[in-house]
Every structure is written in C-alpha cells, then in structure tokens.
Chains A and B, each alone.
Chain A
Amino acid sequence: MAPRAAAGKWTLVQPSILPGFGLTFGFTTFFLSALVLIPLAALVSMAASSHWVDFVHTVFSQRALASYRLSFGASAVAASINLVFGFILAWTLVRYDFPGRKVIDALIDLPFALPTAVSGIALTTVFAENGWLGRYLELAGIKVAYTWIGVTIALTLIGMPFMVRTVQPALAEVQSELEEAAEILGAGRFYVFRRIILPIVLPAMLTGFALAFARAVGEYGSVIFIAGNLPFKTEITPVLIVIRLEEYDYHGAAALGCVMLTISFLGLWAINHLQSWRRGRFAATGR
C-alpha cells in the first residue's frame, strides 16, 4: 500500500477491481480509533499527567513488581501448558473419530462462553483445601488454592480454547499423503512427527501461544476467587489496578496499566516477529 503516483496524482492504494476501499478503510480507522487507540491514548495521557516521581514510585513499588512477576510468569506458564496439552487436544479431535467427538469439540468453547467469574468459583470449589480435588492434593502436600499454582490453573483454563482453535485447522491441513510419503522413505512415527508435522503446525502453535498468553495477562474474573489476592504473594496486576481504582488513585492505576500495555505489546510483537522470520525461512513465496 505504498503511495504511488498515478496520472500525476498521489493515491494511497493501487487501483483495485474491488470497489469500496474508501468506505471500508474509513470504517476500519474509525472503529480502531474509537475502541482501541483513543482509550489507550487516554490511558497514557492520564499516566503522563502525574508527576514522574509518583509514577516511578507506583510502578516500581515492591508490591507492583511482585504482581508483574506473578501476572506474566503465571501467564507464560499457562500458555506453555496449553502449547503442549492444547496441541494434544487438537490432535485427538482432528485425527481420530470416536463416539462423543462432537461433544468434546463443543466443550472446548465453553470457557469462551462462561462468565470468567463462574469459572473462578467452580475452580475454587474443586481446588480449595476441602474441595473435591484439593482434598487429595492437600494430602500430597500440594496447595493449589490461594497460591500461584491456582492462578496458573485458572489462566490455563481461560487460554485453552485459543490454543485448540488455532491449531485445529492447521493440523487438518497436514495431508495424510505427506506422512505416507515420509513413512515410505523409511521414517518412523516419531521422526515423521518431528520433521514433518511439527514444522507445518508450528506457526499456528505460536499464534495460539500468543493469543492464550495475551488472554491470560488480561484475565481478572476467574483469578480473583482462587488466588486469594494476598499482596506480594497471589496478587496479579489487574487486581492491583482495581485496588488502586477503589482507592480513587486513578493516576496510579493508569501507570500500572501503561506498564502492562508495554510489556504485552512487546511480547506479542516478539512472537509475530518470530513467526514472520520462520515463514521467511521456510516458504519464501507465499503458499
């Protein structure tokens, strides 16, 4: 979409046979501005309007630092768990036909549809010290509720559908002929998986990872019940922001928001970059 000279006049786009570019591009800009850019700009300007000493004090307080570590750490762990188990789920759904496959396929989307607070309450019921599972984990010396493990479990549940739904179509695209060709050339099952299937679905897995991670970082509802929100221990950044808001410290909340915004953006940008680098390496011209 580089600007180019056409009949002495500068235009933004190359002429296309599809009409309506002006209209649709206008809509796109309007929606992005109204829903994303302007609110975010307001957030940044709000944070910027406070004194820099206050800003640094809020952002680098011990409590805030602990919350970043938990938020981003638990999200990364949750997304990694989804990377492995979400793949296995997608694999099962794509590759095998078994009674109840449709039901399981529908269940995958449930975390999308449920209010996250409901998931949180449900998880707490199960994993609390006297809950169905928590009781036995307690015996084994593992405490789930009110620890970082509980936070991670909640974030894993929330991110799972993103992973499965991005990997599924990519897996379905791996033609069985490719595997057959590799098999005839002498490759064993694991070799075929490592050298043929994995490279093909890796971009989709990275996208799924990015989506699950992004979702987990922003999650609030499901975590607050199971985390217990103990400062320095099980308090995630979104909770801290809400606490600041309840204290009418709008500038502090905005400052924390800006930090999350920056880190999330950098993370997503890195993953996108990694993907385009891979694509450039394996398929110079588009498929």
Chain B
Amino acid sequence: MSITLDQITKRYQGAPVVNDVSLDIGDGEFFVLLGPSGSGKSTLLRAVAGLTGVDHGRISLHGRDVTHVAARRRGVGLVFQNYALFRHMTVADNIEFALRVRRMKGSLRRERRKELLRLVALEGMDDRLPSQLSGGQQQRVAVARALAHKPEVLLLDEPFGALDAKIREELRRTIREVQRELGITTVLVTHDQEEAFALADRIGIMNLGRLLEMGRPEDLYARPATRFVATFLGAANLVLARHTARGICVGGDPVTALGSTSQPATRDHEVVAVLRPEDIEIAPGRHELRSNFLGLGTVEQLLFVGANERLRVRLNNAANAGRVVTSADSNAAEALLEVTRTQHDRRNYPVTTGQAVTLGVRRLHVLATPLSSFTACATSDAQAQALTEEPLLVQLAGRMKTRVSTRVEPALAQAVEAAAPFAGVAVINTDPRAVNTVQWLLQHGAEAVLLLPPQAPSPERVLIHWVDESARRATLAVSASLLRHVSAEAVYVGILAEESEANRPVGLRALLDARSEAQAIHGLEIRTELGYGDVAEELTRRLTEAPNQLLILGVSDISVLTQRFAALLSRTESPLLIVWQPGDLPLQA
C-alpha cells in the first residue's frame, strides 16, 4: 500500500473536522477525495502532507510510519489551489527549488528541469516569471515543481479551482497523462463530481469529516449505500417506499425492477429508494411502457432542452409514495420527480407542461439505511408540531433529506391498538412514562424510537450499546445511518457485570467484534470502551458525565425495557434512540 491512514482524527476547538478516517491507497492509484466544502477533505490531505498534525491515528507512506515525520522528510509533492509559486523566481528556479535544496549539480538540475517542462508541455518557458504566465500555465509549473524531487506520492488540493472551464479540462488531461506516465500514487481533493469521474480510479466521498463510502466511480454511482452519496454523485430522486413480501412498493403496485438488490422482506417496512432521473421512463399509457410501472403523473416543468431534456413530474399517487427529494432541490415538499430523457425519446413522445403521463422505472436501488423517515408522535397536535421544530430533529431530517410527518395518536396515552402501523423512526418527547410508549411504538411498526428532551443540541458523542448479541446487527445499522449525518464521535460501550481477570478477555473480544463489524459492514469507524456493573446504571453514569451525548440502545427482547431501563428512559436529559430487533421475527401484515 502506498498510503495507509488508520483512524485519523483531527479536531478544531473540540469539534472533529476529520473523524476516524481509515483508508488504503494502492501503488500508482489515482484516488479522488470528493466532498462539499467543509467536509474535512483538505484537512485530511494536509495531514498526509504533514502540514497539519493529527490528534489521533497513524499515517503510513509506503509502509513507513510518518505520523510524526516533518513535511519535508515525507517525500510527497503538493499542488495548491492558488499555485503558491515563488513569484520572485523564474519558472526554472521554481522547478529547481527542491533540487537546489538537495544540492544537486547544476547540469543534472537543468536536465531534470527540461524533462519536467516537457512533461507538462511548457518547453522554453524557463526564463519566464510566474506573473508572465496564464493561470493554467502557472498551475502546470506548480505540478512540475511538485514532481521535481521524484516524490513517491503526489497530492493535489483542488488544483483546478481557480481556472476556467476550458483550461481546466486541458490541465485535467495533462495531469492524468503525467500520472499514468510516471505511475505515481496520486490523491486529488475536489468538490466537483465531474472532475472525480474524469480522473479517479477510486473515489472516496467525505461529508462532515467522515469518509462515507469509497469505490470505483461506476459502482458508487450505481449502488450508493448512503443518501448523501446517492444525491452528491449525480442527480437522484430519493423516494420513500415500502418493502413488502411482494417487492418494493413506491405507489400502490410493487416494482420488481432490475437492479433492486435487496432481499425479500421478512417484515413489511419503509425503505429509501434511489431513482436516477435517466432511469425513469415516460409514456402515454401503461401499455406503452417498456419498463416497470411506477405510477401516474403530471408534467410540472420542462427545465432544459439541450442534449438531454430535463423535466419535473408530479407523482399523482404521492400520498402513498411519501416525500420525494431530488438532489437539485432538497426542500421540495411535493412529490416532484426529476426525469431526464434523450432527444430520441423526446421526439418519440413529446410532452408539454400540464400533460398527464404514465411513469415507468427501469432500475431502482434501495438504500441500506434503516432510518427512512421521522414521525413526530404526540397526543395533541400542538405537541406534535413542537416536536417537529426541535433543532436536532430539524437538523437530522434536513441532512437526511427526508420527511418529518406528524401523528396525533390518542392511543399513545392508553396503549390500545393503533389506527395504522408506524414506519421509520418514531419521535417522542422525553417523559416519565416514556418506557411504555416506546414499547408500544416498537410493537406497532416503528423501526426505532427517538426520545428527544426539549431543545437538545446536536450530539458531540454518540454512545452505542446493545443489551444482547441478537440486537447487534440492527443497532449497528441504525448507528451507522445516524452517524453519517451528525459530526460526532462514535463510542461502543461494552459492559461487563463485574470486573475480574476471568471475564476481561470476553469483554475485549466483544469490543473487537463490534469494531470490526461496524468497519466491515458499514464502513463506520467506532471507538470502544469497557465498563463494569449494572448496564442501565453504567449507561446513566456515562450520560451524565458529559453534556451533548446521545445514546443508541439496542434490544431484542422488548420486555427488558420495562424491567431494566425504565429509570434510564424516564430520567435522561440526553436524546435516546431505542432500536428493537425482534428475536423471533414475527411476520406482520
């Protein structure tokens, strides 16, 4: 491995900007770190270069641990967004800088300089000053300068940021050619997905300091695991659907589209489906459709006619479909689907605004996230409304681009049969009698229950614990999904009944299992800590120890909630997320 990052964490004033990132980059690989501004990608690159220290974790370059090695001894080349050329030196002096530092002989220096200038297609520019060159040429000089001392790793920090579109493409090609010719391991940081697609062997996508997913560009595009990646890489319609025994139901009918990779449902539950705009088909009627029927719709907007036509279509059976979110407009409350069609399709079936159409779907991808939507539950309308305005819930739903619906349920207080089953995450206020409500909600279809104390801030630390091993899978899935949307540290707390030499290995093994499963299945890095004593007491103690913590508690036997956690659930000042994975999987209609 050329570059190995192991659990890198960097904090600024306590808040993690790079959060537990682990990464392996192979020899000669072109790796692109992609993410919105403020996602921590540049900080991570600077840490690799040695310009920023890390608070936790290790960095190895070609098997050599360089975590505490000075930047100038790391053997890397770095290209800055604003070139950072030495303006008082000529192009030749700039390129030879690293060679002069190393006291290389004049003739060898000249030879190397000529070679580098040829590589970046700037022959004969030796005696120019940076101020006499265009932006694109300056960045070429910067690339040549970064390569002069034959570094083993080339790092590029948004190198095209300051250039206009045409020059950008030219330079992109040059960099790709240079990289291929030298076979040098390269990491490029950018916020431009087009750039990432054009250059990368592999892409790693960062958000809120976490490395969410990585893989080959085409795999990430076709099968994203998270909402963020689905909407950040290309355009996507996120649709709430129901996963039933018959298939994925977006509207009334199940869609058995190709590429829906999920297994048959054991329990009818809500899922998030990704529909790419180019995978949606428009036809006059059901019989003309060549793909699976999705629903009936009305054309609302014709956005752009060029090489492709982009339209927005309202799904008429939206009541069942739930909220549709396109990456272009995350605030659209209506079920508007974004659709792109080729000119060929447009000529075959031209549509105008307001026209009723039939929608089909060629391909549909179901996200693995268990947190599909939020439902604020209360016994009165005012209470439910107040819940939806809780800052933490607003933040989570906004970042997840999902729906917060309200549900006024008098049954909450009496715990009788609910009018209709719940879906997704039920959200309730912290309450002394919460334990019964939680139990009741979980039994009536909620995937998880979030207990929110009033005005709870966004957590800085998320504690994770499951009461028994059969709840592990579901708890980890919920934890991973939640942690992608908050910038908090994740800590799995293993708790043993008593501290003794005999059971210590057992506890440590549980911690290691938890960590490796989180890493392997969800790509989530978590810390682990070991505690002793009664589970509920230990968790309560840890929650009261520091502010701004959130606890995710997984159970498989729902009765333990009343037996052992009633006190914890009723008195806490921190938000709690209760996950239930039924041990014997009762099939519900």
Contact = CB atoms under 8 A, between A and B. Distances in A.
A184 B74 CA distance: 8
Contact of B72 (A177, A184, A283): A184
B82 interface: yes
B532 interface: no
B78 A187 contact: no
A287 B131 contact: yes
A184 B101 contact: no
Contacts of B131: 283-287
A48 to B, nearest CB: 46
B80 A183 contact: no
Given A185-B148, A185-B149, A284-B132, A180 B72 contact: no
A122 B149 CA distance: 57
Contacts of A195: 86, 97
Contacts of B88: 199-200, 282-283
A223 to B, nearest CB: 38
B246 interface: no
A182 B142 CA distance: 12
Interface centre among A186, A187, A188 (most CB of B within 10 A): A186
Contacts of A186: 72-73, 98, 101-102, 149
A184 B77 contact: yes
A220 to B, nearest CB: 39
A21 interface: no
B71 A183 contact: yes
Interface string A215-229: 000000000000000
Contacts of B361: none
B84 A181 contact: yes
Contacts of A283: 87-88, 129, 131
A186 B78 CA distance: 12
Q: How large is the interface on A (under 10, 10 to 19, 20 to 34, 35 or more residues)?
A: 20 to 34
Interface in A178-216: 178, 180-188, 191, 195-196, 199-200
Interface string B74-118: 101110101010111100000001100110000000000000000
B191 interface: no
A175 interface: yes
B581 to A, nearest CB: 50
Interface string B35-77: 0000000000000011100000000000000000011111011
B145 interface: yes
A167 to B, nearest CB: 16
Q: How large is the interface on B (under 10, 10 to 19, 20 to 34, 35 or more residues)?
A: 20 to 34
Nearest to A188: B72
B192 to A, nearest CB: 21
B116 to A, nearest CB: 13
A283 to B, nearest CB: 6
A230 B78 CA distance: 63
B84 A180 contact: yes
B71 A180 contact: yes
Contacts of A183: 51, 70-72
Interface centre among B72, B87, B89 (most CB of A within 10 A): B72
Interface centre among B70, B86, B98 (most CB of A within 10 A): B86
A178 B97 CA distance: 12
B51 A187 contact: no
A191 B77 contact: no
Given A196-B86, A200-B88, A282-B88, A181 B78 contact: yes
Contacts of A199: 88
A286 B88 CA distance: 11
Nearest to A178: B84
A178 B74 CA distance: 18
Given A284-B132, A285-B132, A185 B72 contact: yes
Nearest to A278: B88
Nearest to B151: A184
Nearest to A203: B88
Contacts of A180: 51, 71, 78, 80, 84
Interface in A108-154: none
Contact of A184 (B51, B86, B89, B132): B51
Interface centre among A181, A285, A286 (most CB of B within 10 A): A181
The 7 closest A-B pairs by CB, nearest first: A185-B98, A177-B84, A181-B84, A282-B88, A186-B101, A199-B88, A186-B72
30 contacts: A175-B82, A175-B84, A177-B82, A177-B84, A178-B86, A180-B71, A180-B78, A181-B80, A182-B86, A182-B97, A184-B49, A184-B72, A184-B76, A184-B78, A185-B72, A185-B97, A185-B149, A187-B97, A187-B101, A188-B72, A282-B87, A282-B88, A282-B89, A282-B129, A283-B88, A283-B131, A284-B132, A285-B132, A287-B87, A287-B131
Interface of B: 49-51, 70-74, 76-78, 80, 82, 84, 86-89, 97-98, 101-102, 129, 131-132, 145-146, 148-149
Given A183-B70, A185-B98, 15 more contacts: A177-B80, A178-B86, A180-B71, A182-B86, A184-B49, A184-B77, A185-B149, A186-B72, A186-B73, A186-B98, A191-B101, A195-B86, A200-B87, A283-B131, A284-B131
